């Protein structure tokens, strides 16, 4: 089981967004040293608990600050953008950091409807629902896959050539799994959004179509909510910050990540046991050995060769500690010592 990081750049209450972004680079350096396989940064707009609005702006600094990690987007929300612009941007990154850049793509807006509207260049109409066509065009730029005589064919000579990013499709629904399978690209399932996705992952694997320019076999990752700590009680305490954030988000309020003490008081005022697991949500919490067992069970459930660990906690030191404990429990340093470097395969 490969172990990777999905980072949303949490914004702690009382801190600046600039600090949250610098914390992402610091955590990436640590992940590189510990032997994690890849480090993906997210795209969320409109502020609140996370500062990661532009993965394409963070990937370069993170790749420059690290040596072994694959670095990428988790993901670029393609409906907001021109496929050519995304292809050019990530081809440049791939040219600067050969063999290390991933292009994870999503269909969601990554924000509320008003902010999605503000992101549009043409606000006279709503964003067209043409994601499959956008994705096909983007892959054609990356692969030189336009038919002879296509007016866009010459644009496939991208900056950064001959290097290219590795495409992945992100999702939490059956439709995304079907597209990833039909296109023959990697698929990363967001279990932290939809914890009932094992059958969807199986559908991706069962329907996978190998391609000449793409993967010869399915490549499945699962992203899960993970907090490791020195005790079960400490892990549960750290998780309260995220629970408050999500409860407020469902009410349309985007707030910075509160300290656990604040979150515990808030949840108690709501009549909720602050240390109880959230119904309908998979939370992998606890001591390193307990977390490892749950991650192995999760990977087995999804048929995934890789788990991306994501969390939102108030303290950057606690986030670092969580990933340190997780790496130790999963033996990442042993793997790094044997190979001399992190696995290079995409």
For 175-194, the pLDDT digits (tens) are 999 999 999 999 999 999 99
| Rounded-to-10 torsion of CA 124, 130, 135, 136 | -120
Of residues 181 and 119, more confidently modeled: 181
CA 204 – CA 210 distance, rounded (Å): 12
Distance CA 7, CA 223 (A): 11
Q: Tens digit of pLDDT for each residue in 21-51?
A: 999 999 999 999 999 999 999 999 988 999 9
- Domains along the sequence of the chain with CATH: 2-223+285-339 (3.20.20.30)
Q: What is the mean pLDDT of residues 195-207?
A: 97
pLDDT confidence of residue 265? 98
Residue of 99, 3, 94 whose CA lies nearest to 56? 94
> Which token pair is 61?
């600094």
Alpha carbon distance 247, 242 (integer Å): 9
- Model confidence at 77, pLDDT cuts 50, 70, 90, reads very high
**Which of these, 10, 4, 32, 34, lies nearest to 238 by C-alpha position?**
10
Is residue 336 scored above 90 in pLDDT?
no
- Tell me the whole-structure pTM to 2 decimals: 0.94
Contact 169, 85 (CB under 8 A): no
pLDDT value for 335: 60
Maximum distance among all Cα pairs of the chain, rounded to whole angstroms: 65
Cα three-residue angle 101-319-13, rounded to 5 degrees: 105
């Amino acid at each position: 089981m490969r172990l990777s990081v999905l980072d949303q750049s949490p914004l702690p209450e009382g801190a600046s967004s600039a600090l949250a972004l610098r914390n992402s680079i610091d955590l990436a350096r640590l992940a590189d040293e510990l032997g994690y396989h890849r480090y993906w940064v997210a795209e969320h707009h409109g502020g609140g608990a996370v500062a990661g609005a532009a993965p394409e702006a963070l990937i370069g600094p993170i790749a420059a600050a690290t040596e072994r990690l694959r670095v990428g987007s988790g993901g670029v929300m393609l409906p907001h953008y021109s496929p050519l612009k995304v292809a050019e941007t990530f081809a440049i990154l791939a040219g600067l950091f050969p063999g290390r850049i991933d292009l994870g793509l999503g269909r969601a807006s990554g924000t509320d409807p008003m902010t999605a509207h503000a992101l549009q260049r043409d606000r006279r109409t709503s964003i067209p629902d043409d994601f499959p066509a956008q994705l096909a065009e983007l892959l054609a730029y990356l692969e030189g896959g336009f038919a002879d005589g296509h007016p866009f064919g010459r644009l496939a000579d991208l900056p950064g050539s001959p290097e290219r990013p590795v495409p992945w499709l992100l999702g939490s629904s059956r439709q995304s799994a079907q597209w990833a399978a039909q296109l023959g690209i990697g698929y990363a399932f967001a279990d932290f959004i939809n914890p009932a996705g094992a059958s969807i992952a199986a559908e991706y694997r069962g329907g996978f179509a190998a391609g000449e320019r793409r993967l010869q076999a399915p490549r499945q990752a699962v992203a899960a909510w993970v907090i490791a700590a020195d005790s079960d009680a400490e892990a549960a305490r750290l998780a309260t910050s995220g629970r408050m954030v999500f409860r407020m988000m469902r009410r349309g309020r985007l707030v910075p990540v509160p300290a656990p003490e604040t979150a515990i008081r808030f949840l108690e005022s709501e009549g909720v046991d602050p240390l109880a697991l959230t119904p309908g949500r998979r939370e992998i919490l606890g001591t390193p050995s307990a977390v490892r067992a749950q991650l192995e069970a999760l990977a087995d459930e999804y048929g995934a060769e890789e788990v991306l660990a994501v969390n939102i906690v108030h303290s950057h030191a606690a986030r670092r500690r969580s990933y340190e404990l997780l790496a130790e429990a999963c033996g990442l340093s042993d793997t790094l010592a044997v190979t001399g470097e992190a696995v290079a395969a995409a």
